[in-house]
Amino acid sequence: MATRHFLTLLDLTPDELTHLIRRAITIKNGLKTHGPTYTPFSNRTLAMIFEKSSTRTRVSFETAMAQFGGHALFLSPRDTQLGRGEPIADTARVLSEMVDAVMIRTFSHAGLETFAAASTVPVINALTDDYHPCQLLADVMTWTECRGSVRGKTAVWIGDGNNMCHSWINAARQFDFQLRICCPEGYDPDPAILAAAGERVTILRDPQQAVDGADLVTTDVWASMGQEEEQARREQAFRGFQVTEALLDRAAGDALFLHCLPAHRGEEISETLLDDPRAVVWQEAGNRLHAQKALLEFLLLGRVE
Ligand code: CP
Ligand code: NVA
C-alpha cells in the first residue's frame, strides 16, 4: 500500500477526517478516564524537523509519542546536515530507513512536497508558509466537542489570507461548512485555493457584516513567522480588523472564538478577548495533543475504530 502523507487536509477523504475527529475525542476521553494506558507505538519513532519556532506543535507531538509508548526526536537545521545543505530528498531517504514517521515545520510547501515524495514513511505537515492542517484538526475537534456536527454551519476568518486561512478553506470543503473570509484588500488568500472551494467560501471586506449571525469566529496574527519585517506595514493594513467582544456580539448567541495561538493582544484581538467565555482557545490548544494522536494512529496503524 502506498505511504499516506498529511501535507494538507485534502490528503484525507472527508470520511477519514470525520473519523479522525471522532477518534480524537475518544482518545481524549480515554486519557482522562484511564490515564496514558493506550500505548500502540511501543518502540516507534517520530522525527520532528523544525525550521521555525514552536511551542504547541512541538510539545503536542512529543507528548503524543511519549504517551503512546513511542519516542520523538527533535531535529533543528542548526544541528543537522539539513542546515549545511544536505538535499531534502536525501534526508528523507535516510530518515525513512530509521524512523516510522516524520513531522516537518518549514517555510516552503514545495520543499515539504519534495521531502514527502522521497519518503517511504508518512510525512506530516506541521506548518508551512501555505498551510497548517494539524491546527485545523484541533480546531474542528474543538468546535465539534462544543457544538456538535459542524456540517452546514458558518465560520468567519478575520485577518490575513495566510497559511491558517488556507487550511480553514480546505476545512470548509472537507467538513462541509460555510466560510466567510474578511481580509483587507491585498491580503486575500491564494486565488487557486479559494476558487477550488467554490461557493462554500466567500470574501467580505467589512468585519461587522462578515460576523453577522456566524457560529464561529477565528483569526490569527497579522504577521506570520518569516514576515517580521512587514509588521509595521501590516499593523496599518489590518487596522479595523481586530476581533473584540463587541464584534463577537454580532455573531450567533452561542458563537465560539478560536485562535491557533500565539496571540498578540491589542493587535488581532482585544486585550481581554481570551478571557471571554466564547473564547475556547485553551481547550483548542490542548486538543492539538489528542487530534495529532488520532492522526499518527491513522497514518501508522490505519483506521482504528
Ligand atoms: N498554533 C501553533 O502551531 O503553535 P506553535 O507555533 O506554538 O506550535
Ligand atoms: N500564521 C502563523 C501561525 C502560527 C501557528 C504563522 O505562520 O506564524
CATH of the domain at 190: 3.40.50.1370
Q: What is the mean pLDDT of residues 284-294?
A: 98
- Say if 257 falls within a structural domain: yes
| Residue 55 CB–ligand 1 contact under 6 Å | yes
pLDDT score at 2: 83
Preceding amide of 262 cis, omega within 30: yes
C-alpha–C-alpha distance, residues 281 and 260, integer Å: 7
Same domain (yes/no): 140, 117: no
Same domain (yes/no): 185, 164: yes
Same domain (yes/no): 141, 114: no
Same domain (yes/no): 113, 232: no
pLDDT at residue 150 tops 80: yes
For residue 147, the enclosing domain spans 135-284
183 is known as an active-site residue: no
Which of the ligands is closest to the CA of residue 61? 1
Angle of helix 163-175 relative to helix 14-34, nearest 10 degrees?
Answer: 100
DSSP 54-93: -SHHHHHHHHHHHHTT-EEEEE-TTTSGGGGT--HHHHHH
- Say if 4 falls within a structural domain: no
Of 67, 135, 242, 292, catalytic: 135
C-alpha–C-alpha distance, residues 124 and 114, integer Å: 13
Cell of 291: 487530534
* Interval 72-88: pLDDT, tens: 999 998 999 999 999 99
Which of the ligands is closest to the CA of residue 138? 1
Same domain (yes/no): 16, 86: yes
pLDDT score at 1: 66
Same domain (yes/no): 126, 197: no
Q: What is the mean pLDDT of residues 270-276?
A: 98
* Interval 160-210: pLDDT, tens: 999 999 999 999 999 999 999 999 999 999 999 999 999 999 999 999 999
- Say if 112 falls within a structural domain: yes
| Single-letter amino acid, residue 206 | D
- Say if 37 falls within a structural domain: yes
- Say if 3 falls within a structural domain: no
Q: What is the mean pLDDT of residues 9-19?
A: 98
Residue-averaged pLDDT of the chain = 97
pLDDT bin (cut points 50, 70, 90) of residue 305 is confident
The total of structural domains in the chain comes to 2
- Say if 305 falls within a structural domain: no
99 Cβ neighbours under 8 A, 6+ residues apart: 45, 46, 47, 73, 121
| Residue 261 CB–ligand 1 contact under 6 Å | yes
C-alpha–C-alpha distance, residues 161 and 187, integer Å: 6
| Residue 291 CB–ligand 1 contact under 6 Å | no
Of 44, 105, 180, 234, catalytic: 105
105 is known as an active-site residue: yes
Same domain (yes/no): 190, 276: yes
Q: Percent of the chain scored above 70 by pLDDT?
A: 100
Sign of CA dihedral 97, 102, 106, 108: positive
19 is known as an active-site residue: no
Same domain (yes/no): 40, 52: yes
| Residue 57 CB–ligand 1 contact under 6 Å | yes
Same domain (yes/no): 122, 144: no
> Ligand 1 center to residue 53 CA distance, Å?
8
Same domain (yes/no): 149, 122: no
pLDDT score at 176: 98
Q: What is the mean pLDDT of residues 112-118?
A: 98
- Say if 241 falls within a structural domain: yes
Which numbered atom of ligand 2 lies nearest the CA of 261?
5
Same domain (yes/no): 249, 109: no
> Ligand 2 center to residue 40 CA distance, Å?
31
Contact 270, 219 (CB under 8 A): no
* Interval 205-225: pLDDT, tens: 999 999 999 999 999 999 999
- Say if 1 falls within a structural domain: no
DSSP 122-188: -EEES--SS--HHHHHHHHHHHHHHHS--TT-EEEEES--SHHHHHHHHHHHHHT-EEEEE--TT-P
Same domain (yes/no): 118, 142: no
